[in-house]
Structure 1
Amino acid sequence: MKNKPKVLFVMHMPPPVHGAAMMGQYIHDSEIINRDFECRYINPSASRVVAEVGKVSIRKIFFLVSHIVSVVYTIITFRPDLCYYTPTSSGWGVFRDMMMILLLKLFKRKIILHLHNKGVSECSGNMLYDFAYKRIFSCVKVILLAKELYPDVDKYVSQKYLYICPNGIPSSNHQYKKRNSIHNPYTFLFLSNMIETKGVLDVIRACGMLKKQGLIFKCNFVGRWSTVTAERFNQVADENDVSMQVEYKGPKYGNEKTEELKCADALVFPTYYPGETFGLVLLEAMEYGLPCISSNVGGIPTVVDNGVTGFLIEPMGVEKLADKMKWLIQNPEIGMDMGDMGHKRFEEKFTLQIFEQNLAAILSDACKC
């Protein structure tokens, strides 16, 4: 029997819970990946909660030293054919990643980088970042989540070394059935950590505009407090006179999150987060037949088919956000059709099984090259 290719995965896994970490966990648990390759997994994350991501501490420095030792030991003993690494795009982590990737190159390993964030083009004008990026991206293959993200790295990565692999999420066990009615009142859902640049406060302000127009609706917010605190959330709700229309429901997982998706008529995710690339929450909403209003940033246009499965607006466009929310309230039947189209798009392109198959094919090709 032919030996399976050996792959060392150096990638983030929870905690903390965020998109890249969840994808790392899916890869770690993948039957397809573990069937087709002999795998070793190392988690480079020293952060325990989302708020610690990107911050330097003494504990993280000690963790980095032990992490380097672990990687070196695994390379020597495991001798992987390919090293899979998930680098960051900005902040001090770029220089940490440069050191780790140069170490992998020192051992003459084939390397493939899977980018779950963006920001390279914004930082490349800085001499130190430019120095790091040139060393990170030389002689490696690169996976992006969507073709729209290529301009972020085109200065350093040739298209001949590029792969596109959209994210996917596990299909739930629920039997999908197209919605034939809306909730009373029409219910929007915001589902993400309470980070201001994810658009939390923009949604509240848009709700204020809807109320001034006499529209009847509700908007639930699900996620952990972060840069937006309870005090700030309530302050903006009071300022916009929507304390009765918006409700913070806390973080929800598993069946509790499923119930929030079932109790909603549409998802609102007007993110302008600097590193936004894909938005897994959009896939969750699409699986449950929800039309999505999101931002024309990162790879989100790959996910949301504008005017077909939802709407894309320019980031920080509160008035446009309110307009699209109003449109869905006033056109519920068309909104349900959009949600149904979104579910079909999810099944065709964004299930976890499709992601695993695509990634396995990419890794197999990278091992041969």
Structure 2
Amino acid sequence: MKKKKILVLGQTPPPYGGQALMLQTLLEGQYEHAELFHVRLDFSKDFNDMGSFKLYKLWALIKAILLTWTYRFRYNIDIFYYGPAGPNKMAMLRDVILLAPTRFLFKKTIIHTHAGGSSRLYDGLSPLLKFFYRAAFFKPSVLITLTDYSHGDDIVLQPEKLFVVPNGIKDEYPLYEKHCAPSADGLTTFLYVGAMYEERGTGILIEAARILKQKGYNFRINLVGIFISAEYKAQLTNFVKEYKLENEVSFLGTRINEAKWKEYCNADVFCFPTYVPSETFGIVLVEAMQFRMPVIASRWNGIPFVVDENENALLTEPQNTQDTVEKMELLINDHHLRQQLGENGRKKFLEKYSIETFLKNMDKVFAEV
């Protein structure tokens, strides 16, 4: 069988965000129906650069366009794959500038919405920008969403075919299972993993720590990830000092590979109180479930389609600190519930979110494009 040639345009790590990691997973896969070629985007050297203008990004944009033209004709590629940014106007304009002079070269286009909601910006654009947005995004051959929650992208973009393909990752748990153990001091350890900025709800977790300490609970909150801004870092660290939470809250910085998996392994509960507008999936939720961790997450966008409330996760109202505190209290006090939610999460991971399932589902998409 002759494989379809597909040009994948997108950024792989670093930085180590969910979309970049999933693109790397996609590129490392083996497919019956497709051969992938990759033009790597290099718009963000780290999270501090995301969504902002930097002079080096202009050259990165020009280089990506030139390489796309080169690959298209050198390898005779007919199918174009791209994952747009979410509802961030600067990132959306970058996507339009990148796609408008390249997408028309290909017979078919796959749009994969790891960060959903770019289409929500369409109505507010000028007539000229609407023209170029339509050229970049409208009527793709295939639109892939991560859950049944699509931010309305399927309605605005009008794809010929729509596929729902949940993310999947390699199962790291068997390598670390024998090292996973409850905290020696008996504290309940809560874990957050991801970039740290206000809309990710990290401030909610710090405020929750203050309330839990006032109530006399013994716990620890470990936050893994980079701060998006120095101002936000100062805000949270000052809060920790003001309320004397140094023994309860730790900012661990970036952890990748083995160091990151060890944090999952040695924590009791995963917390993800996000309210990011573009949130579609939350790959960290899947990472937690594979490690038999119960999840506390916000009832937001695609998250209720990834985890099952009261089966493997407790969901909270977005931006509701008190609701978050109550769910944390519940899991501090109920070890059996923690264990039950964790076991159910591990089962769902194996059934739905394994890397094998993801790659198989993507191959089905490639077969039908």
Q: 2-side partners of 1:343 and 1:92: how far apart?
A: 38
Distance 1:119 1:240, change over 3 A: farther
Q: Is the 8 A contact 2:147 2:306 kept in 1?
A: no
* Aligned residue runs from structure 1 range 106-145, under 5 A: 106-128=104-126, 130-140=130-140, 141-145=142-146
Shift in Å, 1:197 = 1.7
Shift in Å, 1:314 = 1.9
Q: Is the 8 A contact 1:5 1:38 kept in 2?
A: yes
Matching of residue 170 in structure 1 with residue 170 in structure 2? yes
Q: Is the 8 A contact 2:273 2:298 kept in 1?
A: yes
Distance 1:38 1:346, change over 3 A: same
TM-score by length of 2: 0.91
| Residues 59-101 of structure 1: per-residue CA shift (max 9 Å, x gap) | 1112211211111111111121311111223323323323433
Residue of structure 2 aligned with 1:299, choices 296, 302, 306? 302
Shift in Å, 1:16 = 1.6
Equivalence for 2:147: 146
Q: Which runs of 5+ in 2 are unaligned?
A: none
Q: Is the 8 A contact 1:277 1:300 kept in 2?
A: yes
Distance 1:175 1:56, change over 3 A: closer
| Residues 274-326 of structure 1: per-residue CA shift (max 9 Å, x gap) | 22111111111111111011112222112211111011112211110001000
Q: 1-side partners of 2:201 and 2:310: how far apart?
A: 20
Distance 1:12 1:203, change over 3 A: same
Equivalence for 2:100: 102
* Aligned residue runs from structure 1 range 1-369, under 5 A: 2-30=1-29, 32-33=30-31, 36-89=33-86, 90-128=88-126, 130-140=130-140, 141-157=142-158, 161-172=161-172, 173-174=174-175, 184-227=186-229, 230-366=233-369
Write the letter of the residue equivalent to 1:363: F
Q: 2-side partners of 1:155 and 1:225: how far apart?
A: 33
Q: Is the 8 A contact 2:146 2:167 kept in 1?
A: yes
Distance 1:9 1:174, change over 3 A: same
Equivalent position SS for 2:271: strand
| Residues 92-138 of structure 1: per-residue CA shift (max 9 Å, x gap) | 33233234333344324210111111233542331236444433332
Equivalent position SS for 1:143: strand
| Residues 140-179 of structure 1: per-residue CA shift (max 9 Å, x gap) | 1211111112524423325x521111111111143758x9
Q: Which runs of 5+ in 1 are unaligned?
A: none
Q: Is the 8 A contact 1:120 1:153 kept in 2?
A: no
Q: Is the 8 A contact 2:166 2:353 kept in 1?
A: yes
Q: 2-side partners of 1:246 and 1:204: how far apart?
A: 7
* Alignment RMSD: 2.2
Indicate the percent of aligned positions where both proteins have the same amino acid: 28
Q: 2-side partners of 1:182 and 1:58: how far apart?
A: 47
Distance 1:347 1:170, change over 3 A: same
Write the letter of the residue equivalent to 2:118: V
Write the letter of the residue equivalent to 2:149: E
Equivalent position SS for 2:61: helix
Write the letter of the residue equivalent to 2:335: P
TM-score by length of 1: 0.91
Q: Is the 8 A contact 1:186 1:329 kept in 2?
A: yes
Write the letter of the residue equivalent to 2:331: L
Distance 1:232 1:350, change over 3 A: same
Q: 2-side partners of 1:82 and 1:121: how far apart?
A: 22
